[in-house]
Every structure is written in C-alpha cells, then in structure tokens.
Amino acid sequence: MAMDEEKTNRSKSAEREEKILKFWQDNKIFEKSVKKSAPQGEFTFYDGPPFASGTPHYGHLLAGTIKDAVPRFWTMRGFRVSRRWGWDCHGLPVENLVEKELGLKSKKEIENYGVEKFNATARESVLRYADIWREQIPRFGRFVDMTDDYRTMDANYTESVWWAFKKLHDKGLIYEGFKSMHLCPHCGTTLSNFEVAQGYRDINDISVYVKFKLLISNSQRDEKTFLLAWTTTPWTLPGNVALAIGKNIDYVKVQVGEEKLILAKARLAVLKRAYKILEEFKGEKLVGFSYQPLFDYYQGLTLGSEKGQTLKNKENGWKIYAADFVTTENGTGLVHIAPAFGEDDLCLGEKEKLPFVQHVGLDGKFKKEVSDFVGMDVKPKDDPTRADVAVLKFLAAKNLLFAKEKITHSYPHCWRCESPLLNYAASSWFVKVTVLKDKLIAENKKIHWVPKTIGKFRFGNWLAEARDWAISRSRFWGAPLPVWRCEKCGKLEIIGSVENIKKHLKPRNRYFVMRHGEAENNIAKILSTKPENPHHLTEKGKGQVRAAAEILKKEKIDLIYVSPFVRTQESAEIVREALGLKKEQVIIDKRLSEISAHDFNGKPVSEFQLAFSSLAERFSKQAGGENYREIKNRVGKFLYEIDTDNSGKNILVVSHEAPIWLLTCAAAGLSEKLAITTYPSDFNKNDFLQNAEIKSFDFVPLPRDKNFELNLHRPFIDSIEFDCACGGTMRRVPEVFDCWFESGSMPFAEWHYPFENLEIFNPKPGLFQKPKRFPADFIAEGLDQTRGWFYSMLVLGVALFGKAPYKNVIVNGLVLAEDGRKMSKSLKNYPELLPMLEKYGADAIRFYLLSSPAVRAEDARFSEKGVDEVAKKIIGRLDNVLAFYLLYADKNQTNNLQPRLAVRQATTNNILDEWILARLNQLIGEVTTAMENYELDKATRPIADFADDLSTWYLRRSRERIKRIINNELRIKEEAKSALETLRFVLLELAKVMAPFTPFFAEYLYQTLNDANIRMDINDENVKSVHLEEWSKVESKVESQKSKVLEEMVEVRRIVSLALEARAKANIKVRQPLRKLKIKSLKLKTKTEILKLILEEVNVKEIEFDDKIGSEVELDMNITTELKKEGDYRELVRQIQELRKEKGFQPGQLATLATSAQIAATGLLQEFEIDLKRTASVEKINHGVLSAEDFELR
C-alpha cells in the first residue's frame, strides 16, 4: 500500500516529520553529511541487501533503524560514513514467488515454459516494490543513498562474483564433488548446510522395523531367519544395497513365534513380545553374509542393455558390512544402507564399492524402475508419510514388516517453499571451508559481537562444525557458475571476467562509425528528423568528410552502412569515392536513421532539449516518435544482423550522433545507467561525436538480452560456446550460484572490484596507504544471518583477503506480535505499520524498537502501548518542554538569549541549573559509551530517564522562576533569563544526543531553538541541520565537579518521594502546608540550597534532621488554623489559574478578578492579596461582586 493512501488519523508528529523529510531532501542534508569534513577519516558500513519481494515490515524497520542510528552517530563523531542501498535479487525466494505467479509447480514445468521468459518475470518481480521502498525507507528516517544503488543481478556484480570464484579455484579452494546433501524436491536443487539449518521443524513420522531374509549361501535362503533393521525413512528401502553392523557389538539370534530374528542384544526391548535367545555372538561373525533384497527392482536390472552393461558393483550388494557408526543407542544394531540417501551410507558405499541405487529422482518421485510406486512423491508437503505408508503396506503383504511406530522428530524443510527435504547424494561445487576452519575461528575471535554470546557460541559453534560449502544450485534465476567443460575430453576452464569470454570469442569483423559532416540543419541549429528533409552538407561539412576519408584509407574499408538521410548519404558517397569502393558496397539501412521526434522536426534543438529533464529521461520519454531505448534496440538489431551476415570485413557505419552513441552502447552491452556515464556530462552542450568524427569499437556477440544489455543470466550465457584444444566444444555447466555466495560477495562486488573503482574499494594496503572500505567497521542483520550473510561474508573475506570482513556486528532478534507469535496478516495479531506511522510518527516506533531486547538478538513482542508510551513520555514531554520554553523565551526575545556553547561555560548559582547541566553531561557520557560499544538499548534508555528528569523535575521546579521573566525587578528577571538560557542549551544538546535515534524530532528541536529553518521551505547551501553538527563531548572536569550534585539530587528526590508517600497515606493534599518534616539521614544537613527544594516540593515550613527517628522521614500531620487557611488559599489560587487557562489569558497578561460574596467572606484573598496578584498576574480584585460564580476574570 502506498503511503499516500494512508492519510487517516495523521498525528501532529507524522505531519511534522513529513515536512522535515522534505526539508532534508530539498537541502540534501544526507548528502552534505557524507561530504562534510571528516577529520577522523572513513567509517565503513556494509548494508546487507534486502529482498524486496513485498513492502517493508517491522523487521525491516528494526534492522534499518539499527543501520541508520549507528552511521549517524559516527558521522557526528567526525567520520565519513557512506551508505549505499542494494537489492538482493537472486535465489530460491524469488523463484518460488514467480512459480506461484505463473502457476508453475515443478522445475520441469519451468523448462517447458521457457527459462528466458521465467527469468524475465523474475527480473521484473524483484524490483516490483522498489518505488514503494524508495518512498517508505526515507519516511522511516533512514539516511541512505537509494539513487546510486547496486543490484546483485547486474552484470558488473556478477562479474565480480566470477572473479571471486576463479580466485578461490586458483587457490585450490573450489572443487566439484559428489556428496550426500539435502535436496528440495520442489525446487529441484540441493541446499547448503546453513540453508538446511534454517528449516528444521517437528513433524509426525513413521519408523519401521523391517525383516531381511538371511541367505545361507548366495542362492540358498534360510526361510526362518531374518535380520531385523530399523529406519525412520521407509521410502529409502527400495534403495537398500547393504546392512551394517558393529564388529564388537554383541548380537543374538532369538526365537519369536515361528521365526528367528537377529539383532543387538542391547536392543531386545524393541521386540515387545516373548522371545527365546538361541545364540549369542559378536557382530564380526555376520560380516559377509548375504540377504534377500526387500525389493527386486535393481538386483536383476541391466542398465544400458544395448551396451551390455549391468549395475556397477552389483556383486558387492545386499551383504552385511561392519561400520563404526553403528551403535545400540536406538534401532536394532543393524543399519539399513542406501548410499544414495545418507552421508554415512555413501561413505560406506564408496569404501566397500557398493552398487549405487538412486531410486528417487531430483523431483522427489520414485523412478520408473520402482514399478509398484512409480511417480509417487516420497515426501509430499501435504502428507509426508504417504509414500512411507505405501511401502509399509507392500512389505506387510510380504510378511517383511515386523513393527511400526509413530514418532515425532525434528525434520529439515526448505527454507523458502517449506517442502520436506530429502537426504540425497548429488554432484555440486564446493568451497573447502574445512581447510579454512582454523583461520575462520581465529578471525571470529577478533570480531566484536553484540551480544557477545552470539559470536562465542551460536556463530562460534557453527564455525567449529563447519563443513565444505555447496555453492551451486540446479536452478535458473541466479548468477551462472563460470565453469565451461569440454564435452569431449572433460577439461574445465574457469572464466573470471567478461574479458576472458571475449578472448575466446574473437571478433568476426572490425567496426568504425562516422557522424555525417556539418549540414544545413546544424548551422540553423534545428532538429531534422525526417529522411526527406533537404538538409545538405555545407561546404565545410564536405571538407570534414574528405578529411575523414583520408584517415579511413589505411583501414581498408570493405562495406559502408548508411542512414537514408540526405546528409548521411552525401557523407557516405564522398567516402566511397575517396576509398574507391563500388556503389554496391554502400548499403542504406533505415535502422541507422536519426531519432524520430516529429513534434520537434524543424524546430530549434534547444526546444527538444528543454523537453527532457535529464539524459536518462530520453530513454523512456518520447517526443512524437521514439525514445532512446527504442533507438538502441533498432541499431542493436542492425549490428547483430550485419555481424552474422559478414565475416572478416572492415565495416564503416555512417549515421547521426545519437544513433551512433547508442550503437556503441549496444555493442558494449551497456545498461542505460552505464550508457549515460559514457556520454559527456553536459549532454545539452556537448556531443558524443562531432561532425565527420570517426571512432572504432570492438564487437563480439556477448550474452545480451532483448534490450541489447549485457546479460550473464541463463539462457543467454548458455549460448556461449568455444573450442577446446582437443577439438571438442566447451559448454557451460548448467548450475547457478547459491544466492548466499552472491550476497557474501557484496563488499567487493557492489563496487565491481577488481575491474574498477579501486579508489573506493581496495582491500590491499599500498605504500603509505591503508586498505579502502575493507574490512567494515560495522554491519548489522538478524539472528538468522549467523548461518547466512554473516557466515558467507566471513568465509569469502578470509578466503579471498585473509581476514574477517567486518569488525563490529549488531545482531537483532525477531519482532513478534504482542501474543508472542509471528506477526500474521491472517491472524491480525499486530497493528499494521503504515497506520502506526501515521498515528505516532516514525521516531516513536524507532525509539521503541531501539530500546527493546530485539537489538541484542532477543525476540521482542511488539506493543502499540509501548510505542504510545514513547510518544507521550519522551517525545510528548519534550515537546511540552519546548513549548514552555518558547512561551517565555518570546517574552525575552529569543535571540537575545545567549546559548551556552559548552557545558564548562555554563555558570549559574542555581542548584537546579547545576544539576540539569550535570545530568546532561552524564547523559552524553552514557550514550557515547553505549554507542561506542554498539549497545543501542543502553544508549536509548538513558534518554528516556533524562526526558523524565528534565520535564517532571527540572522544569516543574523551575517553572515559577522562569515565569518571572516578565518581572521588572532586574535580579528576578536575570534569574529567569539564566534559567531560560540553561533550558535552551540543554534542549540543543539533547537534540544532538537524540539525533541518531529520533532524527525527525531532533531536527525539530534544533531548528526551533535556532529559529533558522523552522519554515522548512528554505533551500540554502548554508542551511544548518542537527545532522551536520558534531557530537557533544563529555566534560570530564565538570563530570567530577558535578557528581556530588547528582548524588545529592538523588537523595533529595528519595526524601521527597518518601514524604509525599506519607502525605498520601494520611490523605493530605500537597497544596496543604505542614509544619515540619523530620529526616533521619544527615547527608543533606548542611545543604541549604537543596533543602529549599525539599521544603517547596513537600510543602512544609521547616526541616529537622533526627537520626533517631524510626522511619526515614516523619511528617508533622497536625494542621493548625493558620496552616489550614494557607492550604485553602492555595486551592483558590489553583482554581483561578485554571480559569486563566479557560479564558485564554497569556502568561504575564494582567487580569481583573471579581469574586463572589461567599469567597469574599472567607477573607482569604484579602489576606493574601499581594501574593495573589503576583502569582496569578492579577491587576485588580473586586471582592464580593458576583452572585452566581465564585470567580470571574476580565
């Protein structure tokens, strides 16, 4: 849902935030924060690219806010922190979504549909929501460059991934292997071990005890003796080729009814029926015995019968072998061996040269040889036990089933489509992680993890058990593996760059382009877009062409292709004559025509230029004919066609400036974004090619899509073939990369390393030069990435560059619904994000998330009540403090207040001012330390406490002092002014402290207090922003000097709290004065200024210290007549103040008060008239003139 659809219930905060966002964007505040002076140097941040398969949710907001707060902090600390957005585009998540959209249910259906069409849909889908992300991410307060973004599907990114793969291969860290892995039958591909680890869940399954009939000899059966084996995967039994036992395990032969069973002695309990032990022996006695297969699908099968080949190693099948992995912890002590479906099984199969029977295909269905179950899914998603039950029924009918049990166990599922996985032996390409394990563990110990336990245990333990990483996938939408294999000799070639491909694909022809000479329309500066326009070459133009022809003589031109326009044909004819070519060697091709922009034909070129805001817009916007994208397509088709039609020729193309530029772009396979970078920067003043200028370009038919952009995806890359030295043809292997390999390549691939941008990214230190943007100072992602991005990036960083690619990591947990379950749209168990944004604003949600346990890898239950509390108790309170400041600052002309530029410059004799400045210094210290340690919850929580102190203690206790700014007495006025200056300084410093966490409100505070850009419509190069300020420094001297003040104020508030609690218990209002408060602690006995606070806050006449009283405080609850009178007077003052508010009187605005006869009769207002006039800004009092109301103000 677009944000402009959610305008209901918009809060004041939300409206204010949108104005501030516009202010940032109009004044390029983010860009300025990156470009401003950075005395501390570079702070490198890697932003893991998200999948944009939907709109942003709370999880994205949490991770994005973490990624925003930390760079903002370090920017204010004097570092330059570049932040570049990226898009994760490849992999199973995208393919699964596209399959659903297209109604495709299997890999085979995708192939039938067409890989090109499937991948085109995938490409379109990954950026379907990009515009919504570009709108919403900044609205959440994120500072990040989403214009110069990178995409993992771009050719440049893929080329860097290829480079990494070749580099690893050259180091001996890549190999192709046949291993037992986990297969997703729906996706038709194997998964890496860390992908598998993400999908375990408990399921109900079936385990079975199966009887294998023992053979006395290879042909003679013992009709009554069976070997008893146990399995939890009955569907693998048709693939059984052996049984395994433990050599030193004790086995028994037992009589059970009419049958004899062999099993481990320690497992007799599984029989659950009467038995008699007939014989005991060690397992080694069983080794070598044969047994009758449960199924005869493969025992007598001849594979490839036309060649007379039988099942390889068939003679070693269906026998008993010893294996170390056999135990008596469960089962029967006899293990069913199916080498195609288990790691231990495959290892034993290779060791003993067992036949390899893979009776299940990559689609997860029984193969045709398994005639009783052919085509059945072995582990269907909707009913995982369906095939198992079918197998059990079959075995029961043959009296080969001994028992079955229902079990619940943890079973791996596909992390994307949720299909149950199959343990499946398959070929894959691997990274030798096991070789790197020690280095990975050592590098991990150098990383600062938040929380530490993730790095030490979860991630550390994962590394300790690391296995080789399967990085290839038998899929479609992904970066293709750059491996070419000769179909004849099997030789491999690893391609590490597009340039490597070009070396194999030699150019068929040589190409030159020439723009026509100067023509009459050039002199007139008009656009000439129709072939029939009689715009001939000028004399100067003819001379230009003749000079160009002289240059071309040495190139031995064979053919000239020319645009049908008058000026181009005249140019081509001059060249033809100069080169001595025949007329038939000049070919007119309308695809080389000038742009079709008939709305501007004959009009000034300047008008055409004004129709477009940028060069990029010319690719999509038409001007009465065609746009640049369409021109590029027609000249691209022209180029591919003539290259196919000719061989060994030197070809000249004579055309117009724009078509020639776009022809060279098509030849290079440039995307529109890259094409623009090849054009002169001021595209309205400079041309790509001058009149009669010649350029040459190289062209080989690299893999390109229909837009003539280099496209390394399938099926385009699969068309690239080249010759092998043996005479065979080298073709690319069909696999694509695991998308985690791609995302792990992000640090270097986003910059197209090592092919360009070495001034931006270079992990290699040079002479007097540090590495650039490697390693990262900071990264952050969710807990699941410990086995995803964190892992893949560490492996590649260590393997390629010898060190960990990041120094500091924040790991966040999940944002759950308030009920503790996952947020679910169907359950409606959480408030939707955008309405929350409208109701509370982004800052409240940001602060709530940053102060939650989610920033230290714990799951957090999202509560709207919690966001509401932040909005009210932090942002709302501070908003009220600011409003109060503005109310009274206006009375003293805000600009006349002197800002306190540093804490050490704040000189004040007021104890409250001293205390709040000390608290501010303490706050800065706490937040700074926490941010330096990347502990965001510890950084945000002190802000909440400070907001409370500032609002409910400092301002409340300073309110009356500040109100006296209107007083004419100089001393009183100066005291009030000092308080206002202190408050202004505190709020300005607080704006800086809050800037990383609540960027909108911090900006609002800053701008309002500076009265500089509050209109939010200023567009000024010198505009100020809190996000361009330096971080506040902790004043250590002040900290030590004022620590006593902080301690004393804590004691004051403790005493006040106890005294007010005693009042409440006695049901005596605070407005009622009491005579005395006794305090047991002697800490504050000599602190006269501080004791005044207690007197006022508790409303007592005197304080007495007595360390012999029983409780901490004692109040004299005896209310005398005088005290009662004063209390009643205070109640009347409260009523009068409320009436002032109702009537809209401004602070300090004098009023006339009229009272009723009943009020006048009390005599209270007469007795306290002087105090009342000062306190309530009353100029005159008319006593006893009202009959109905108690009071009236005029």
Three-state secondary structure along 737-757? ECHHHHHHCHHHHCCCCCCCC
Residue 661 is among the residues annotated as catalytic for this protein: no
- CATH 3.90.1170.10 matches 507-699: no
Cα separation, 214 vs 226, whole angstroms: 5
Report H helices in 995-1028: 999-1010
Give CATH superfamily name and number for 862-1043: Isoleucyl-tRNA Synthetase; Domain 1 (1.10.730.10)
Give CATH superfamily name and number for 200-412: Valyl/Leucyl/Isoleucyl-tRNA synthetase, editing domain (3.90.740.10)
Instruction: Report the Cα 153 to chain-centroid distance in Å.
Output: 16
Cα separation, 120 vs 709, whole angstroms: 13
For residues 934 and 450, is the Cβ–Cβ distance under 8 A?
yes
Residue 785 is among the residues annotated as catalytic for this protein: yes
Retrieve residue 975's tokens: 């005291």
Residue 890: predicted pLDDT: 67
For residues 906 and 913, is the Cβ–Cβ distance under 8 A?
yes
For residues 946 and 919, is the Cβ–Cβ distance under 8 A?
yes
Cα separation, 988 vs 1032, whole angstroms: 10
For residues 59 and 172, is the Cβ–Cβ distance under 8 A?
no
Centre a 10 Å sphere on the Cβ of residue 769 and count the other Cβ atoms it contains.
9
SS3 content of the chain, % helix, strand, coil (to 5): 45, 20, 35
Task: Write down the catalytic residue from 74, 133, 661, 740.
Answer: 740
DSSP 413: B
Cα separation, 85 vs 785, whole angstroms: 18
DSSP 230: E
Residue 740 is among the residues annotated as catalytic for this protein: yes
Name the phi and psi angles at 469, rounded to 5.
-95, 115
Beta strands per DSSP E along 592-717: 650-655, 694-697
Q: What's the angle, vertex CA 104, arms to CA 103 and CA 108, rounded to 5? A: 165
Residues in the chain where the model's pLDDT stays below 50: 1-7, 303-308, 893-906, 1013-1014, 1016
Cα separation, 460 vs 440, whole angstroms: 9
Cα separation, 1032 vs 518, whole angstroms: 63
Task: Write down the catalytic residue from 24, 47, 49, 772.
Answer: 49
Is the N-terminal amide bond of 775 cis, ω within 30° of 0?
yes
Residue 518: predicted pLDDT: 97
Closest CA to 17 of 145, 136, 144, 129: 136
Q: Beta strand 779-782 with 808-812: parallel, antiparallel or unpaired?
A: parallel
Retrieve residue 760's tokens: 């931006």
Cα separation, 481 vs 712, whole angstroms: 10
Task: Write down the catalytic residue from 224, 764, 822, 1180.
Answer: 822
Please count the CA atoms within 13 angstroms of the CA of 234 that sit on its side-chain side: 30
Mean of pLDDT over the chain: 90
Q: For residue 866, what are the contacts with CB-CB under 8 A and spacing of at least 6?
A: 848, 852
Instruction: Report the Cα 177 to chain-centroid distance in Å.
Output: 33
Task: Write down the catalytic residue from 88, 388, 777, 843.
Answer: 88
For residues 675 and 665, is the Cβ–Cβ distance under 8 A?
yes
Residue 49 is among the residues annotated as catalytic for this protein: yes
Residue 131 is among the residues annotated as catalytic for this protein: no
Cα separation, 1013 vs 1025, whole angstroms: 9
Residue 401: predicted pLDDT: 95
Separation in Å, CA 833 to CA 6, 58, 850: 10, 7, 16
Task: Write down the catalytic residue from 789, 915, 953, 1031.
Answer: 789
Any idea how long the chain is? 1194
Cα separation, 383 vs 374, whole angstroms: 17
Q: For residue 217, what are the contacts with CB-CB under 8 A and spacing of at least 6?
A: 290
Cα separation, 1102 vs 1086, whole angstroms: 14
Task: Write down the catalytic residue from 544, 569, 785, 922.
Answer: 785
